[in-house]
Structure 1
Amino acid sequence: MMQRIHVDSSAPKYQSGKWSWDKKSEALRFEQYFDLDDADERYINTNGYKFLRTFTQEEELIFRQVFVRPDTSYDADTVMINDVRDLVLFLMPKEFLHIKFLEFMHQPLVHRLLHGLIIYFEYFLRLVEFVLIRRDEIAGEMAQMQSEQTNEIKRIWSSYLSQYRILVARDYSTIITGEGDFKKFYHTKEIVNISSKIKDRYFHEQFLAVATQIVWITMHRRAYYLIEMEMNRLFRSEHFIANRPEYLKFSPAERCLLYGRNNKLVNYQKQTSPLIQELKNIVDEDMPILWIGERRYRGSDPRIAELELEYMVPGLQLRLIDIAHGILGHPKMLYNTLLSVDWPSVRYSNFSSEHDPYHIVGQPNLRIPNIDEAELRKMSQNLERFYKVFRIYEPTKRETLMNWSKREKIINYYHTGGILQNIYTRCEKQLVIDEKRPEVEQVVSNFLDVMQKLRKGKN
Structure 2
Amino acid sequence: MKRIYSGTRAPKYHSGKWYWDKKTDSLKFEVDNDLSDAMERYIETNGFKFLRTITPEEELIYRQKFARSENTFDYDTLITADVLELVIFLMPKEFLTKRLLIFLHLPAVNRLFHALNIYFEYFLRLVELVLIRRDELNGDMAQIQSEQTIKMKRIFSIYLSQYRMLVARNYSVILKGEGDMAKFHHFNQSSQVSATIKDKWFHEQFLAVAIQIVWISMHRRAYNVIEMEMNRLFRSEHFMIYRPEYLKFTPAEKSLLYGRKNKVVNYRIQISPLIQELENVPTEDLPILWIGERKYRGTDIRIATIELEFIVPGAQLHLIDVPRGIMGHPKRLYDTLLNLNWPAVRGEHFSLENDPYHILRQPYLQIPNIDDTNIRKMSKHYEHFLNLYRIYEPYSSHMLSMCLRRDSIVSSAIADVNVDIYKRCEEDLERTSYGPNVDQLINSYFKVVSRLRKSVKHNADDTCNIALRPSSKKHMVKKTGDEHFFN
TM-score (norm 2): 0.86
> What residue is the counterpart of 1:175 in the other structure?
174
1:225-275 CA-partner distances (Å, limit 9, x unpaired): 000000000001111222311100011111000000000001111110000
Tell me how far 1:191 sits from its aligned partner. Answer: 2.4
| Aligned partner letter, 1:383 | Y
Of structures 1 and 2, the one with the larger relative CO (CA 8 A, separation 6+) is: 1
Distance in 2 of aligned mates of 1:409 and 1:9: 22
- Structure 1 counterpart of 2:67: 68
Matched residue, 1:433: 433
Q: Identify the residue that residue 103 of structure 2 maps to in structure 1.
A: 104
3-state SS, counterpart of residue 391 of structure 2:
coil
Matches for 1:19-34 after TM superposition, within 5 Å: 30-31=30-31
Question: Is the contact made by 1:74 and 1:453 (CA closer than 8 Å) also made in structure 2?
Answer: no
- Select which of 430, 438, 447 maps to 2:445: 447
Per-residue deviation at 1:365?
Answer: 0.1
Kept after mapping to 2: 8 A contact 1:16/1:55: no
6-15 or 275-284, which moves further after superposition? 6-15
Q: How much has 1:19 moved relative to structure 2?
A: 7.3
SS of the residue 2:188 aligns to: coil
Counterpart for residue 139 of structure 1: 138
User: Partner of 1:245 in structure 2?
Assistant: 244
SS of 2:143 mapped into structure 1: coil
SS of the equivalent of 1:417 reads helix
Deviation string for 1:11-67 (max 9, x for gaps)? Answer: 55543366799xx98x9963487x743521110000000000000000001100000
- AA paired with 1:447? Y
Measured at CA, do residues 434 and 63 of structure 1 come closer, stay the same or move farther in structure 2, by a change above 3 Å? closer
Partner of 1:333: 332
1:380 aligns with 2:379: yes
Distance in 2, matches of 1:97 and 1:345, equals: 34
Distance 1:316 1:432, change over 3 A: same
Does the aligned pair in 2 maintain the 1:32–1:56 contact within 8 Å? no
Given that 1:294 and 1:389 are in contact with CA atoms closer than 8 Å, whether structure 2 keeps it comes out as yes
Corresponding residue of 2:13: 15
Q: Aligned residue pairs: how many? A: 445
Deviations 1:364-410 (A, max 9, x none): 10011111110010000001112110112111111211111111111
* Aligned counterparts of 2:403 and 2:184: Cα–Cα separation in 1: 19
Q: Following the alignment from structure 1 to structure 2, what is the Cα–Cα distance between the partners of residues 362 and 13? A: 31
3-state SS of paired residue (1:316): helix
35-44 vs 261-270, which moves further: 35-44
Given residue 402 of structure 1, which amino acid in structure 2 is its aligned partner?
S
Contact 1:301 1:377 in 2 (8 A): yes
Distance in 2 separating the partners of 1:299 and 1:36: 56
Secondary structure, counterpart of 2:363 in structure 1: coil
The answer to whether 1:121 aligns with 2:120 is: yes
2 CA distance for matches of 1:179 and 1:42?
40
Q: Contact 1:234/1:275 (CA < 8 Å) preserved in 2?
A: yes
| CA distance in structure 1 between the aligned counterparts of 2:418 and 2:441, rounded to whole angstroms | 27
The amino acid that maps onto 1:313 is V
Structure 2 counterpart of 1:379, one-letter code? M
Quick one: distance in 2 between partners of 1:76 and 1:9?
18
C-alpha spacing 1:348/1:36, structure 2 compared with 1 (3 Å): closer
Conserved 8 A contact 2:225-2:247? yes
For residues 13 and 145 of structure 1, do their structure 2 counterparts lie closer, same or farther at Cα, with a shift above 3 Å needed?
A: farther
* TM-aligned CA deviation for residue 294 of structure 1: 0.2
Contact map agreement 1:16 1:54 (CA 8 A) in 2: no
Question: Which AA in structure 1 matches 2:126?
Answer: L
Contact 2:5–2:11, Cα closer than 8 Å, also in 1: no
| SS of match in other structure, 1:281 | coil
Structure 1 range deviating more: 256-265 or 430-439 = 430-439
Q: Deviations over 1:107-149 (max 9, x none)?
A: 0010000000000000000000001001111111111111111
1:417, CA displacement in angstroms? Answer: 3.1
Match of 1:282, SS? coil
Which residues in structure 2 correspond to 1:47-446 (within 5 Å)? Answer: 47-417=46-416, 432-433=432-433, 437=437, 439=439, 443-446=441-444
**Structure 1: which 5+ runs fail to align?**
1-5
State the Cα distance separating 1:435 from its structure 2 match. 6.5
Task: Name the CA shift for 1:54/1:214 in 2 (closer, same or farther; >3 Å).
Answer: same
Q: Secondary structure at the match of 2:44?
A: strand
Structure 2 Cα separation of the partners of residues 435 and 358 of structure 1: 41
Alignment partners' CA distance in 1, 2:82 and 2:418 = 25
Distance in 1 (alpha carbons) for counterparts of 2:451 and 2:79:
17
Partner of 1:3: none
What is the CA–CA distance in structure 1 between the aligned matches of 2:436 and 2:383, rounded to whole Å?
Answer: 58
* 3-state SS, counterpart of residue 30 of structure 1: strand
CA 1:181–1:40 in structure 2 vs 1: closer, same or farther (change >3 Å)? same
Task: Give the TM-score of the pair, scaled to structure 1.
Answer: 0.91
Instruction: State how far apart, in whole Å, the 2-side matches of 1:350 and 1:118 are.
Output: 28
- Distance (whole Å) between structure 1 residues aligned to residue 325 and residue 10 of structure 2: 24
Alignment-mate amino acid for residue 122 of structure 2: Y
Partner AA of 2:415 in structure 1: T
Q: Distance in 2 between matches of 1:111 and 1:270?
A: 30
Secondary structure in structure 1 of the residue aligned to 2:115:
helix
- Alignment partners' CA distance in 1, 2:178 and 2:258: 29
Which residue of structure 1 aligns with residue 474 of structure 2? Answer: none
Identity of matched residues, %: 56
Quote how far apart the aligned CAs of 1:9 are.
Answer: 3.4
Deviation at 1:438, TM superposition (A): 5.1
Contact 1:189 1:195 in 2 (8 A): yes
1:272-308 deviation digits (Å, cap 9, x = unpaired): 0000000102111000000000010011100000000
Which residue type is aligned with residue 127 of structure 2?
Answer: V
Give me the whole-angstrom Cα distance separating, in 2, the residues matched to 1:17 and 1:363.
26
What is the letter of the counterpart of residue 437 of structure 2?
R
